[in-house]
Structure 1
Amino acid sequence: MDPIVTAAGKIFIYSALRYFALAGIPFLLFYLLLPNKLNRFKIQQKLASKKDFLREIWYSMQSTLVFTCITMVLLFTPLRQYTMIYDQLSDFPLWYVGVSVVLSLIVHDTYFYWMHRIMHHKKLFKLTHVVHHESTNPSPWTSYSFHMAEAVVEGGVLIVIAFVMPLHPLSILLFTVSGFIINVYGHLGYEIMPRWFRHSWAFEVFNTSVHHNLHHKKFRGNYGLYFRVWDRVMGTEHPDYVKEFDRVQVSRFSEPLVAKY
């Protein structure tokens, strides 16, 4: 069998297993094993159906196939020689691996914000993004539930990053894993941020599960992925976000929370 085909198959299988592990474990805990005990963490009290979950998994597998193709193009075609991907960890200080992952997440957040806003244009929304928004009450399975055309654009960020900063394949792996974990949290349907978070500066910077859940519920505002920064700068953060976050916190901790930073 062609080595490239073999590599593609391995990457797809690894990516699919990663999806089922990183989305499946939270789903198992929050939706199957402990839903009653964790009910106070639930953002929307209504429940998605089994049909919703199966639809999300189906589209997520299509997205995983697209992401596999993008990875193959980057690593195993002549395009690689024009990227800044390097093979030897010794080419840069070891600490740079961590720095490159953080920088990748920052670039991705900017890329995602503007791509996401464009996807909400009426024509593009009906053609592509509507698939993701069929999940008005998202679950961990929603994380990769995209129309294939949107998956191409979503995965395109990896090509952008590979052209703007040096990346070792390990950095690419860590970026995709950490980004997916945050993505699963954003679609979890439950708020799990610790109590102190609401009182800290971090609340002003980082997104929460409530933040993205409100986007799925209202279909507008809260376009950012990891951070609140672009939404706040561009005035697109949903006006009910803080109030909604506090409502969930009251449910969790049984008393109002007021920021003290």
Structure 2
Amino acid sequence: MIDSLPPLAILLEKGPAIFAFDFGRYFVAAGVTSAIVWGLRRSSIAARKIQTREATAADKRREFAQSLQTVGVYLFVSLFIIWGVDTGVLHRFQGSYGVWGDAALLAAIIVAHDAYFYWAHRAMHHPKLFRHFHRAHHRSITPTPWAAYSFAIPEAFVMILFVPIWLFFVATPVWVMFLWINFQIIRNAMGHAGFELHPRWWLSTPLTRWINTTTHHDLHHAGGFNSNYGLYFTWWDKWMGTEHPRYAERFHEVVREVAVPQAGGEMTETISLHSVQPSRS
């Protein structure tokens, strides 16, 4: 064990930088995804919007405020993570296992985090936990990318707890953790985009059909609260029988191209729109 600053001293020394970094990656991921959706909604594939309901300005303000709160929770826990690393309780180092070793470790983090998220997420839907942990996030019936970190304080603690658990068991290079946390927030923002961002062949190939789409998580928000708990992949939902029964059908409805007649008899390609009407139950 080595000498270490106490968490309060770490807060004073590194707190502003930690907060700026974590808020910055949330703001960039949500902001860029929102900008992409804004552009796509004005393009020829505008009907890839998954729900007919529109998120209000109040919805977006609430999502942003709750995400800012989550960043505050992450800052608090990060102080103890840094303290744990400095004292040797948690394991992180500046070296590398080599390109292939680091790549394998990054893949392992993603797979492990997906399993953690599935089971933690599913647990928070238990009637005795939902109100206190997860109801705040489900106020976003029609989510936007700003909902990526829109958690109640207890849920925010559950979400960040994966990091010290992982670092307790696995010595992980700094750059691998950096890649993972940025991959995580980008995928999270995409999952809440409200607009299908994946190509229409996504569920038709064995290499991509097990990777979550925006439709997959949107169905969870729109009323299928007891289905589609996964974050990055669909396999836990398939194995546990919790995948929404209309997931594949709904995805193909959103991305399907149909020919429609235009003025003068010409035929133009567009997207069909048979949006799920969200339930407030």
TM-score, length-scaled by structure 1 = 0.90
Partner-residue secondary structure (3-state), 1:109:
helix
State the superposition RMSD in angstroms: 2.1
Counterpart AA for 1:233 = W
- Which range moved further: 43-52 or 192-201? 192-201
Secondary structure of 1:185's partner? helix
Q: Which among 191, 216, 227 is matched to residue 211 of structure 1?
A: 216
Is residue 151 of structure 2 the alignment partner of residue 123 of structure 1? no
Match of 2:227 in 1: 221
Larger deviation: 190-199 or 70-79? 70-79
Query: Which residues of 2 match residues 95-114 of structure 1 at below 5 A?
Result: 95-114=100-119
User: What does residue 277 of structure 2 align with?
Assistant: none
TM-score (norm 2): 0.84
| 1:35 CA displacement | 2.6
Q: Whole-Å Cα distance in 2 between the matches of residues 43 and 255 of structure 1?
A: 11
Question: Partner residue of 1:234?
Answer: 240
Aligned residues: 253
Give the aligned residue type for 2:20: I
Offset of residue 251 of structure 1: 5.1
Match of 1:165 in 2: 170
Q: Find out whether 1:13 has 2:20 as its counterpart.
A: yes
- The structure with the largest strand share of the pair is 2
Distance 1:11 1:195 in 2: 39
Q: Which residue does 1:40 correspond to in 2?
A: 47
Give, in angstroms, the shift of residue 34 of structure 1.
Answer: 4.8
Bigger radius of gyration among the two: 2
Hey, what's the Cα distance between the residues in 1 that align with 2:87 and 2:218?
A: 37
Name the SS for the 2:78 alignment partner. helix
Kept in 2: contact 1:74–1:80 (CA 8 A): no
Contact map agreement 2:30 2:189 (CA 8 A) in 1 = yes
> Unaligned stretches of 5+ in structure 1?
257-261
Bigger Cα displacement from structure 2, 216-225 vs 20-29 = 20-29
C-alpha separation between the residues in 1 aligned to 2:180 and 2:85?
23
2: CA distance between counterparts of 1:240 and 1:208? 14
Contact in 2 for aligned 1:41/1:251 (Cα 8 Å) = no
Identity %, equivalent residues: 32
Structure 2 CA distance for aligned equivalents of residues 54 and 255 of structure 1 = 30
